[in-house]
Amino acid sequence: MEFRPTIGLETHVQLATATKLFCGCANRFGDAPNTLVCPVCTGQPGVLPVLNRQALELGIRAALALDAELAPFTKFDRKHYFYPDLPKGFQISQFDLPFAHGGGIRLDDGTFVRLRRIHLEEDAGKGIHDRGDSTLVDLNRAGVPLLEIVTEPDVHSSEQAYDYLTKLKERLRFAGISECDMEKGSLRCDVNVSIHPVGQDGFGTRCEIKNLNSFAMVRRALEYEIARQTQLLESGGRVVQETRTWRDAEGRTETMRSKEEAQDYRYFPEPDLPPLTIDAQLIAAIRTQLPESADTRRARYQAMGLNSEELQTLTLDRASGDWFESLAKACGEAKAAAVWTCGEVNRLRNERNCSFSDLPITPAQVASVIALAKSGRASVSAARQVFNALVASPSKTADSLLNELGLEQVSDTGAIEAAVAEVLAANEKAVAEYRAGKEKAAGSLMGQVMKKMGGRANPAIVQEALKRLLAGG
Ligand SMILES: [Zn+2]
């Protein structure tokens, strides 16, 4: 019997706000444990949450970036569970009235993955379990604003799941919602998967998989889980609904706990926060500020004549394209700007392991290097040397460095002709061969002229002079 997998994805994304969702504590990764805390986010009695407006606006922006529809009326609910990283004993989340629904993402294979809901909630703290027999708790993360994005069961393979996550991340990063850095936990993902016989309606019993720390892990875990469920059903067994954890080192999932149902969480409306009416004016204002998406940008760059490799580099993140566009503006030529941004500039960025926005050289400086090459004062390789010298001494100018390095290209036709004439006189045999139809001989003559002029002669002018003098001009 053939089975078809059905996959749902639940992604949590931390919003890049300055402060937490319901208090004034900084929303920052990497500080000393329990230093970004206050009575609100540590759940002390007698305190009241206040909704962070920036979080709400970023949430609305995310919904718009995902083509979702915003609910005119929304509210927060308490979701109860007992865990050491949750000091209040409940999480402020959204249950029956999420602030957005609908929208979705088109995959490379044409499949449209619909979004069931997008809601806002607070993050929990973090348990640190690697201290022998004790567990420590860091509450810096408690109260950080989170977006939960849930798909409809429209994904049917591990590749599609991988593609969905890659595109989701790109959308959110380009819209400035979040860094979506899985290593720092600003994007986390749980998946649920079931299989059912091809041609039959309905779904099989699903398992949820947790502890997936990279998109590659999501793919591996799904492949394993689909195979496990298939084998189970083929051998006459049945799948139990449960939450499983992914053990990456061993390449398998294992039972973690039985799956909670909604009623286990005893949801009820958060009494300390008023319900929210999201007015159309605010939505319209946020829509006009929505940054350009990666897809729109790719199409625009393609129309500029950039090749697919350049498109890929320049849409890695927003900063790369922004850098390219500043350079294109400064040098007045999109193609040259793309070649330099994807070539020397990107090489430097890789070397420094930094973002385009943190490079030690500005688009204006690179434009001045490009101008040297364009005017014929520097060869392509000389321009590269000037670029490197400029990185090392950013207070100097490209012009002065060209002189300092003695790299100025000679375009003086008279001087070049004199050198060509000298080379021809000293190489009668090669000249005779060329004139007898052996065009290859010109190559060695060209090399000799370039050598004679210290490699600085403008090759186009040398070639032209050589042709003319060989032809007896
Ligand atoms: Zn706080």
Count, residues in the chain:
473
Q: Tell me, what's the pLDDT at 379?
A: 86
**Contact assessment for residue 116 and residue 101, using Cβ atoms and an 8 Å cutoff:** yes
Q: 219 C-alpha to center of ligand 1: Å?
A: 36
Q: 140 C-alpha to center of ligand 1: Å?
A: 8
Q: 326 C-alpha to center of ligand 1: Å?
A: 39
Residue 90 bridge partners (DSSP) = 80
Q: 13 C-alpha to center of ligand 1: Å?
A: 19
Q: 142 C-alpha to center of ligand 1: Å?
A: 8
Pure H helices in 175-256:
215-234
Q: Which residues contact 425 (CB under 8 A, 6 or more apart)?
A: none
Cα distances (Å, whole numbers) of residue 140 to 20, 24, 54, 124, 205 = 10, 12, 19, 9, 37
Cα–Cα nearest to 46, from 104, 88, 91, 99? 88
With tokens 């829509």, the residue in question is 287
**Rounded distance between C-alpha atoms, residue 163 and residue 59, angstroms:** 23
pTM of the model: 0.84
List the helix and strand counts (H, then E) for the chain: 16, 17
Beta strand 252-258 with 276-277 is: unpaired
Q: 139 C-alpha to center of ligand 1: Å?
A: 9
Q: 40 C-alpha to center of ligand 1: Å?
A: 5
Q: 148 C-alpha to center of ligand 1: Å?
A: 21
Q: 87 C-alpha to center of ligand 1: Å?
A: 12
Q: 201 C-alpha to center of ligand 1: Å?
A: 48
Cα–Cα nearest to 117, from 129, 102, 130? 102
End-to-end CA distance of the chain: 83
Q: 69 C-alpha to center of ligand 1: Å?
A: 31
**Contact assessment for residue 181 and residue 187, using Cβ atoms and an 8 Å cutoff:** yes
Q: Tell me, what's the pLDDT at 236?
A: 92
Q: Tell me, what's the pLDDT at 251?
A: 94
Q: 21 C-alpha to center of ligand 1: Å?
A: 9
pLDDT tens column, 4-32: 999 999 999 999 999 999 999 999 999 99
Q: Tell me, what's the pLDDT at 440?
A: 84
- Put residue 162 in one of left, alpha, beta given phi > 0 → left and psi -120 to 50 → alpha: alpha
Q: 274 C-alpha to center of ligand 1: Å?
A: 20
With tokens 């379990």, the residue in question is 129
- Put residue 202 in one of left, alpha, beta given phi > 0 → left and psi -120 to 50 → alpha: left
Q: Tell me, what's the pLDDT at 260?
A: 67
Beta strand 126-131 with 134-138 is: antiparallel
Q: Kindly report the number of other CB atoms within 10 A of residue 406's CB atom.
A: 9
Q: 20 C-alpha to center of ligand 1: Å?
A: 7
Q: 78 C-alpha to center of ligand 1: Å?
A: 18
**Contact assessment for residue 59 and residue 120, using Cβ atoms and an 8 Å cutoff:** yes
Structure tokens at 176: 């400035």
Regions in the chain scoring below 70 on pLDDT: 259-260, 262, 473
Q: Tell me, what's the pLDDT at 278?
A: 92
